[in-house]
Each structure stands twice: as structure tokens, then as C-alpha cells.
Structure 1
Amino acid sequence: MALSIWEVLAVFAAGIGAGTINTIVGSGTLITFPVLLLTGLPPVTATVSNALGLIPGSISGAIGYREELKGQRRRVLRLGALAAAGGLCGAILLLMLPPRAFETIVPVLVALALVLVVLQPRISKAVQARRARNGTHGDPDGGPLLLTGLFLASIYGGYFTAAQGIIYLSLMGMLLNDTLQRLNAVKNVLAAIVNSIAALFFLFVADFDWTAVLLIAVGSAIGGQIGAKVGRRLPPTVLRGVIVAVGLTAIAQLLLR
């Protein structure tokens, strides 16, 4: 589909914005997806084009957080395998289910994730206090609860991706004893894996728009580096506030669509 110069600029700018916000917290799809729809792309084609275009942004953001990834190789490999399986399942569901199938549950998921993000410091302290009393140590990978939650979140990510990062951060923040910045680094890797797996599947079985893909790809790669530079400098409290603000905006946009 031929885009006007203004549509080209809009999609490119949306890609930069999505890459930036995805690296810091997530929900960049809520920037690119509406813009793609405004250019005239059908919803499923827009979703597939968006997933393909955001891969460079996810990789760029993960590279920008490479310092925070040090010492997390085992965790990334274990959680990444689940993310890959979930992303493939979500991509398959996108082509099987009605385009609006998940839209009723998504705002509820995001709202629950935001509650967990806000309560995460208290929950973590309570969990650590209980472990100290019992003389036990938590699973460094979060145990079955985290693995199940991340797998389900990855299915959703392969389907639509909006606010996927917020759900990842809420689950890991509650169940892993680590800093928010290090968990954000893992979130960026998981998002890159889900986007890549879903995109590889879409390349063979779904329609997409190459112009939109390339514009978002270049823009999101630039945005990934911007997001890493900004996000890594944010104190935990500020980062948590950004997550909540973006999440509330995501809920409002999803409900008003």
C-alpha cells in the first residue's frame, strides 16, 4: 500500500516512540497500532506489520540494557524458552481467533499488573520476611508461579503485545528478589524473543505491509537506544511511576477504542 509523505513520517515517528517506551516499560504498540490503522491497514495486517517492525527496537533496547543483564544468563535462557513457546502460541491464535477476541480481557490484565507493580515493594518485603522466618530461599527463577504467568503473558504478547512489558515486570517484580532495572533488562530480552518468534511465523502465513515494517523497524531501533539511555537513569520509584502512568493510559486507550 502506498503511503503519503505525512503517513510515512507519522509511522516513522510512531516507531521511534514505540521503541522508546517499550524499552523503558512497554506498551509501545499502543502508539504504532492506531497509526497503522489510520493509514488504512486492516487490523490483523497492522498487528503483523507492527510485530515485524518492533523486532529491531526490542533488540536495540536489550543491547542498551546489557550491563543490567550481566549475571542473568541462566534466568534469561530459562524464561526465554517459555517466552518463545508462548509467543508462537499467541501468533497462531491471532490468525485463528476474531480480531477483537482479547480486547475485553486486556484492560483487566493491565489493571491487575499495575496493582502488582504498585504493591511490589511491600509484597517483596513480606515474602523475604517469611523466608527469613522459615529459613528458606526463593527460586532464583521465580518458581512454577512465575513460569506459568510468563508463559501466559507471552501467549498474549504473541497475539497483540500491548502492555506485555508491564505484565512481565509485575510478575517478575513480585516473584523475583532483584532490582527493577535488572528485571527491566530481562523484560526487554523476553519481548525481543516473543516479537521475533511471532514475526518469523507471520512471515510465512500472514499478510503484512513491507513499507510499514521498514519504517517502524528503523524508528524502533532508534527509540530502543533512546529508551535505554533514559530508562537506566530512572530511580526505582520514578520508573515505577512511569510504568503506572503508561499502564493507565493503555487501559484508557483500550477501553475507548
Structure 2
Amino acid sequence: MSPLEVGAILLAGVWAGMINTIVGSGTLVTFPTLLFFGYPPVSANISNSLGLVAGGVSGAWGYRREVAPFLDLVKKLAPASLVGSVIGALLLLVLPESAFEAIVPVLIALALLLVVLGPRLSRWAASQHADELTTGRLVALIAGVLVAGAYGGYFGAAQGILLVGLMSVLLPVHIQAINGIKNLLGVIVNFTAAMVFVIVDPAQVNWTVVLLIAVGSFAGGFIGARVGRMMPAWLLRATIVVIGVVAIVVLLV
């Protein structure tokens, strides 16, 4: 591995850790970088997922104050993220990559629509349900988190955007709190998927790549948390939309 390759993967990890913490879609930085240097797609995807766990941990820690009031809710959602992640990781190992290529841009576009309309829809839902998380909305949220977890276990790009869009509609809480919950659920998904990959198909893991992305994303997660927590709600939503649109274009191209 050349110094140029080491530096590029390390920097991609930093950038991905920042993006994942603020928005999501950090995989769209690291995954193409690995493909550029000739790593096989499945091996690159698996090694990338494992390396980004470190960035998820530092990003989630950076948002700990925003998440603290909602730990009971996180406990209810975490099993759905875990189960969904296992499903997605197993699908990656048994299905061709073309299986989800058509639906991924559609899912991201839907998530962006939810992010934009989330505050308005959330206010409408609150007016109908006395501004509380009803059983029906909780069930819908758990189901959505399960689907997002499966998607995240399979590929991971824009998983955060899907989660933010979903929670913007169903949770009458501030966008920063939603972002913090998203980071915590993302850690669960990435870690669980990584463990499935290591156990089921360890030959696909490139541990040098994992280490470089882990070091970079760990630093990037701290930076992303500091930047993201200072953003006003409108700017955070705008950033999510811009990066989401870029993600759709990259995936279509």
C-alpha cells in the first residue's frame, strides 16, 4: 500500500466520519475511494462498514447531551436496528449488488422529502395526537427503523438521511435530538453488520483498510459532532438535503 493510498483512505475516513455525524452518507466518500484503489466491491463495502463503527461511536458521544432525554425511546428502537442490520448484512452476502441498485435512489429521495416536510408533518401529527408519541406512531417508527437498519446493513449510504426523515415526521422533537438518536442507531447498525461480516465471511475483511478508516472516522466523528451541534435547524436540514441530492446523483451515475 503506497503512502498516497494510505493518506487518501485516511482522509476519506475523516470526511466520512464528519458527514455521518452531521447528516449521513459518509459511505459515499469512503466506498468510491476504495473502489478507485482497486478493492473488490463487496470487500470494500464490508471493510468500510467495519471501519466506520469508530466514527459512529465518537459521533454518538458528541451528541450525548441531546440524546440523554430520549434514552428510553432509544432502548425501544435499538432492537429494530439490530435485527434489521443482521437482515441487511446477510442479504449483502447472498444477493448480487444489482438487487438494490434501483430502489436505493428512490429511498434517499423519499427520505429527503420527509426531511423537508418533516416539521410541517410533525406539527400536523402533533395536532392530531396531542403532541405525544402514540402507540401507532411508535409501531410505525419501529417498523421504519427496522427497514432503515436492513438498508444500512446492506450498504449504509444515506441510512442517516432515512432515519432523520422518518423521525422528523413521527417524533415531535428538535432536529438536533433526532440527529443524536440517528447517530446512536447508526452505531448499532454498523457494529452489528460488521460482526456478521466478520463471523460469516472474514476473508472479505481487509484489516488495513478497516484500521485506516477507523482512525480517520473516529477523529471525523468528534469534528462532525462539534460542527453539527452548532448548526441552526434550518441549516442542518439544508445540509441534509444537499448531501442527499449529491448521493442520489452519485448512485445514479
TM-score (norm 2): 0.96
Displacement of 1:9 in angstroms is 0.5
Please give the per-residue CA displacement for 1:134-173, whole angstroms capped at 9, x wherever unaligned: xx84338942111111101100000000000000000011
Aligned partners of 1:101 and 1:19: how far apart in 2? 27
Residue 57 (structure 1) aligns with: 55
2:32 equivalent to 1:34: yes
Runs of 4+ in 1 over 3 A off after TM superposition: none
Which residue among 142, 154, 157 is the counterpart of 1:159?
A: 154
2:95 equivalent to 1:100: no
Displacement of 1:208 in angstroms is 1.3
Indicate if the aligned counterparts of 1:75 and 1:141 stay in contact, CA closer than 8 A.
no
Question: What is the identity, as a one-letter code, of the residue corresponding to 2:231?
Answer: L
Greater share of helix: 2
Indicate if the aligned counterparts of 2:17 and 2:219 stay in contact, CA closer than 8 A.
yes
Q: Give runs of aligned pairs for residues 176-195 of structure 1, distance below 5 A.
A: 176-195=171-190
2:253 equivalent to 1:253: no
Aligned partners of 1:144 and 1:205: how far apart in 2? 31
Q: Give runs of aligned pairs for residues 138-157 of structure 1, distance below 5 A.
A: 138-139=133-134, 142-157=137-152
Question: What is the identity, as a one-letter code, of the residue corresponding to 2:121?
Answer: I
Aligned to 2:173, what secondary structure does the other structure show?
A: coil
Displacement of 1:99 in angstroms is 1.9
Please give the per-residue CA displacement for 1:160-192, whole angstroms capped at 9, x wherever unaligned: 000000000000110011110001100000000
Bigger mean CA deviation after superposition, 6-15 or 120-129: 120-129
Question: What is the identity, as a one-letter code, of the residue corresponding to 1:48?
Answer: I
Which residue among 174, 190, 193 is the counterpart of 2:169?
A: 174
Aligned partners of 2:134 and 2:12: how far apart in 1? 39
Residue 214 (structure 1) aligns with: 211
Residues 105 and 152 of structure 1: CA distance in aligned 2, closer, same or farther (over 3 Å): same
Aligned partners of 2:163 and 2:213: how far apart in 1? 23
Displacement of 1:205 in angstroms is 2.0
Indicate if the aligned counterparts of 1:142 and 1:172 stay in contact, CA closer than 8 A.
no
Displacement of 1:126 in angstroms is 1.2
Task: Give the number of equivalent residue pairs.
Answer: 251
2:235 equivalent to 1:235: no
RMSD: 1.3
2:1 equivalent to 1:16: no
Indicate if the aligned counterparts of 2:25 and 2:160 stay in contact, CA closer than 8 A.
yes
The percentage of counterpart residues that share the same residue type is 51
Q: Give runs of aligned pairs for residues 116-155 of structure 1, distance below 5 A.
A: 116-132=114-130, 137-139=132-134, 142-155=137-150
Please give the per-residue CA displacement for 1:51-105, whole angstroms capped at 9, x wherever unaligned: 1100000001000001101121111111111101100111000001002221110
Aligned partners of 1:173 and 1:141: how far apart in 2? 16
2:109 equivalent to 1:114: no
Indicate if the aligned counterparts of 2:123 and 2:172 stay in contact, CA closer than 8 A.
no
TM-score (norm 1): 0.95
Aligned to 1:232, what secondary structure does the other structure show?
A: helix
Aligned partners of 2:135 and 2:33: how far apart in 1? 40
Indicate if the aligned counterparts of 1:163 and 1:247 stay in contact, CA closer than 8 A.
yes
Aligned partners of 2:167 and 2:209: how far apart in 1? 33
